[in-house]
Amino acid sequence: MKILVINAGSSSLKYQLFDMDTGEVIAKGLCEKIGIDGAITHKRPGREDYHAEVTFRDHDDAIALVLKLLTDKDLGVISDLSEIDAIGNRVAHGGEKLRRSMLVGDEEIQYLYSIVGINPLHGPPAIKGIEACRRQMPGKPLACVFDTSYYATLPDYAYIYPLPYEYYEKYLIRRYGFHGTSHRYVTGRVSELCGRPLEELKVITCHLGNGSSITATKYGKAVDTSMGFTPQEGLPMGTRSGSVDPTVIPYIARMEGLTPDETDKMLNGKSGLLGISGVSSDCREVRAAAEAGNDRARLALDVLVYDIKKLIGSYIAAMNGVDVLVFTAGIGENDRDLRRRVCAEMDFFGIAIDEAVNENAPRGKEVDISAPGSRVRTFVIPTDEEYMIALDTMKLVTK
Ligand code: AMP
């Protein structure tokens, strides 16, 4: 069975074609600068990459070229589109109604339109991607996998904000949580790596990348997560502030004469690692600057490490313990020093890592970095959201 996974952003579209019989990616690529001008990079394992500057007026143009390349005599990997059994779309937000991966039609797409207001950045491009797929491959089973659906199990006291309740009723203001597909994937791997069912485990997963979130999963159910109504809450990120005293926000807006949109841009685009360090949103560059003696870059990393520790501690309290701690995504998978610092002086909780194993952990591999005999097992697990989407899609079409 072959599944095409689509992840559409505002001006980009990523794709991966999976052969689910082997679990392998047989082609993948990236369409960029959609609606601006355009470029495509098309990759097939073991063969030379193809890159072309093209014109993408919209997501339809991008999907059309992807399908053309996949079936191309020289650059393709399949001879006909009928070989694609189904399409899986990544959708960040499913609102309060779309709470599991599902095959979608008019009704679900209409609902996605109705919640664009609470998901203005990621909603419209995701819908454009879905609609382009429907137009280019009519009748093909089309699944949506929502980042938010992993959090359908959050108890109400973990998702309601202490604001006037009417805002929840009127505007659906609540914690939704994001990165759910990644947290679900790595949590699933924990069960295999530990050889124990998730129903017996308390797991904390740290997805630390350009966007970062931490999720607590107790006995197989997500019980809390750090991102909230939007992916802005929680940890400091590349350019996003994460949590701050809410009153600071209107105060800065008043002092600087910022409109709500400008304030949003400041919180989303100029804060986090970039905001504190003034150097970069990229953790590698911030680290390099810190090592070269830049004190604000040092401070940005210190704030990040401290906030990760505090969240882990709070989820240990929320679950009355932890069995497994996981690091994933760009920073979590690669930044050994950050992992070492997060796990330092956590012995009260039973967390201890083997510093040599952590230091030498090969990139892109699942590694158990726990110290011998430590009560909590700590893993580095590369995330694979696209595979999870393909797997969900396959399950939906074979059900
Ligand atoms: P992601 O959003 O998962 O692609 O992660 C992107 C983030 O991972 C960026 O901040 C990168 O700087 C960071 N990253 C990638 N490789 C490394 C590395 N070797 N050390 C530290 N950070 C890294």
SS3 102: strand
Q: Is residue 237 lining ligand 1, measured as CB closer than 6 Å?
A: no
Closest residue by Cα to atom 8, ligand 1, is 330
The answer to whether the beta carbons of residues 379 and 195 sit under 8 Å apart is no
SS3 334: helix
List the structure tokens of 55.
């014109």
Q: Is residue 238 lining ligand 1, measured as CB closer than 6 Å?
A: yes
Residue-level pLDDT at 257: 98
* Residue ranges for the chain with pLDDT beneath 50: none
**Which one of 283, 341, 358, 384 would you pick to mutate in the ligand 1 pocket, going by the greatest count of ligand atoms within 8 A of its CB?**
283
Q: Is residue 304 lining ligand 1, measured as CB closer than 6 Å?
A: no
The answer to whether the beta carbons of residues 310 and 362 sit under 8 Å apart is no
**Which one of 179, 213, 331 would you pick to mutate in the ligand 1 pocket, going by the greatest count of ligand atoms within 8 A of its CB?**
331
Q: Is residue 97 lining ligand 1, measured as CB closer than 6 Å?
A: no
Return the DSSP state at 233: S
Å from CA of 331 to ligand 1 middle: 4
Q: Is residue 282 lining ligand 1, measured as CB closer than 6 Å?
A: yes
Residue-level pLDDT at 197: 97
Backbone angles phi, psi at 342, to 5 degrees: -65, -40
| Residues labelled as active-site residues | 147
Rounded CA separation 289/277 (Å): 9
Residue-level pLDDT at 365: 97
Residue-level pLDDT at 23: 94
Å from CA of 282 to ligand 1 middle: 7
Å from CA of 332 to ligand 1 middle: 8
List the structure tokens of 66.
């992807």
Q: What share of the chain is helix, strand, coil (3-state, %, to 5)?
A: 45, 20, 40
Q: Is residue 307 lining ligand 1, measured as CB closer than 6 Å?
A: no
Mapped to the 3 state alphabet, what secondary structure does 179-211 carry?
CHHHHHHHHHHHHHHHCCCHHHCEEEEEEECCC
Q: Is residue 231 lining ligand 1, measured as CB closer than 6 Å?
A: no
Return the DSSP state at 379: E
42, β-bridge pairs: 29, 50
Å from CA of 226 to ligand 1 middle: 19
Å from CA of 335 to ligand 1 middle: 7
Residue-level pLDDT at 106: 95
Q: Is residue 273 lining ligand 1, measured as CB closer than 6 Å?
A: no
Å from CA of 110 to ligand 1 middle: 36
Residue-level pLDDT at 120: 85
SS3 362: coil
The answer to whether the beta carbons of residues 326 and 204 sit under 8 Å apart is yes
